[in-house]
């Protein structure tokens, strides 16, 4: 069976070796592969594995033997799901491999901002020491209000760490979750307006779609407390970056920790760069040895289902993946 994997810069040595040892023809393509090159590679392919590469309707329509698209990761925004359904191609992602990992990344960004670690480290690097001046005063997590936009798997892990682990008051906005989920997590349900107005930390853990694009824009940013910080480890376009830059310039919020951006990779000279109160990460809060081992195992399990012609297990709650023929929803 021919399997094409894009974004080969993401090393999956165990998975690649297992597929090759089983006799499958594995074609590796780099991140940024052209649509024409991908169409050519998929002309006689059975399965496409992708992470970041856009999979458009023309690509899907040209792949006549394609039976499945496996996103080795969570977000499916780069895949034309409608086109896949129209052509009978099953789409599956791997949503559970890094819930704790990404939540830890968000928590790390929050702690670093609250304790002003980037600015302190820069001062130490340049001058060798600094004294306990007012500008370096940090804040304890205990007693703060942490506001979560989205209370899915990662949001629930963040709530556990902030609330049970560090004694924060945790509130959340998620119109798609039942009250029982909030109760189990020990989180108070609030409106979006109440969240941005009252939270000391606003942390984003929701999917990107037409409803959530620029969910955090100028109105939300300028309602936040001036001492509040924004964390985004979800999807870059949840935040209006131009409005965020304006809010930071005007001191409307205290800082931001970002692992995702509207356009990736960032271009040189981006206005969010070189700010002492902004932490920028290259979309890598998921990137740990443990998480990648889980990713390889879960991806291999979904591939085996496609290869053997068995129903494909869809564990994602994303409604876009519902209603697919040849899929099961545990």
Query: Cα(first)–Cα(last) distance of the chain, in Å?
Result: 27
Inter-residue contact 17 to 41 (CB < 8 Å):
no
Inter-residue contact 257 to 230 (CB < 8 Å):
yes
CA 158/CA 146 separation, integer angstroms = 9
Inter-residue contact 51 to 295 (CB < 8 Å):
no
Q: How far does CA 49 lie from the centroid of its chain?
A: 18
Asked about 205 being catalytic, the answer comes back as no
- Which is catalytic among the residues 67, 153, 205, 235? 235
Instruction: Please name the residues in contact with 147: beta carbons below 8 A apart, sequence gap of 6 or more.
Output: 170, 171, 172, 173, 190, 195, 196, 198, 199, 201, 202, 203
- Which is catalytic among the residues 43, 213, 214, 283? 283
Nearest alpha carbon to residue 303 among 69, 51, 60, 39? 69
Q: Is the sign of the CA dihedral 88, 206, 272, 247 positive or negative?
A: positive
255 SS3 class? strand
Instruction: Give me the DSSP letters along 168-225.
Output: -EEEEE-TTS-HHHHHHHT-EE--HHHHHHH-SEEEE----STTTTTSB-HHHHTTS-
- Which is catalytic among the residues 193, 264, 310, 322? 264
Asked about 35 being catalytic, the answer comes back as no
CA 5/CA 27 separation, integer angstroms = 6
Inter-residue contact 201 to 231 (CB < 8 Å):
yes
Inter-residue contact 55 to 49 (CB < 8 Å):
no
Query: For residue 147, how many other CB atoms are within 10 A of its CB?
Result: 29
Asked about 235 being catalytic, the answer comes back as yes
Active site residues: 235, 264, 283
């Amino acid at each position: 069976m021919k399997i094409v994997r894009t974004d080969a810069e993401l090393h999956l040595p165990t998975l690649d070796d297992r597929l090759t040892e089983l006799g499958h023809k594995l074609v590796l393509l780099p991140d940024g592969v052209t649509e024409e090159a991908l169409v050519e590679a998929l002309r006689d392919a059975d399965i496409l594995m992708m992470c970041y590469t856009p999979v458009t309707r023309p690509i899907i329509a040209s792949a006549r033997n394609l039976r499945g698209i496996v996103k080795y990761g969570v977000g499916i925004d780069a895949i034309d799901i409608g086109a896949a359904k129209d052509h009978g191609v099953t789409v599956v992602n791997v949503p559970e491999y890094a819930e704790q990992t990404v939540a830890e990344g968000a928590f790390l960004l929050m702690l670093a901002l609250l304790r002003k670690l980037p600015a302190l480290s820069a001062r130490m690097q340049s001058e060798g020491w600094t004294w306990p001046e007012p500008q370096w005063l940090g804040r304890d997590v205990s007693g703060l209000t942490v506001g979560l936009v989205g209370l899915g798997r990662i949001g629930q892990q963040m709530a556990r760490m902030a609330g049970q682990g560090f004694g924060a008051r945790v509130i959340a906005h998620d119109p798609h979750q039942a009250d029982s989920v909030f109760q189990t997590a020990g989180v108070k349900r609030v409106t979006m307006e109440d969240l941005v107005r009252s939270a000391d930390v606003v942390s984003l853990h929701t999917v990107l779609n037409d409803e959530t694009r620029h969910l955090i824009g100028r109105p939300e940013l300028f309602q936040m407390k001036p001492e509040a910080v924004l964390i985004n480890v979800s999807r870059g376009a949840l935040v209006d970056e131009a409005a965020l830059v304006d809010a930071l310039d005007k001191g409307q919020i205290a800082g931001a920790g970002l692992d995702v951006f509207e356009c990736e990779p960032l271009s040189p000279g981006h206005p969010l760069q070189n700010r002492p109160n902004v932490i920028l990460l290259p979309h890598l809060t998921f990137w740990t040895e443990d998480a990648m081992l889980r990713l390889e195992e879960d991806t291999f399990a979904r591939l085996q289902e496609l290869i053997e012609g068995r129903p494909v297990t869809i564990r994602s709650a994303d409604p876009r993946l519902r209603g697919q023929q040849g899929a099961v929803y545990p």
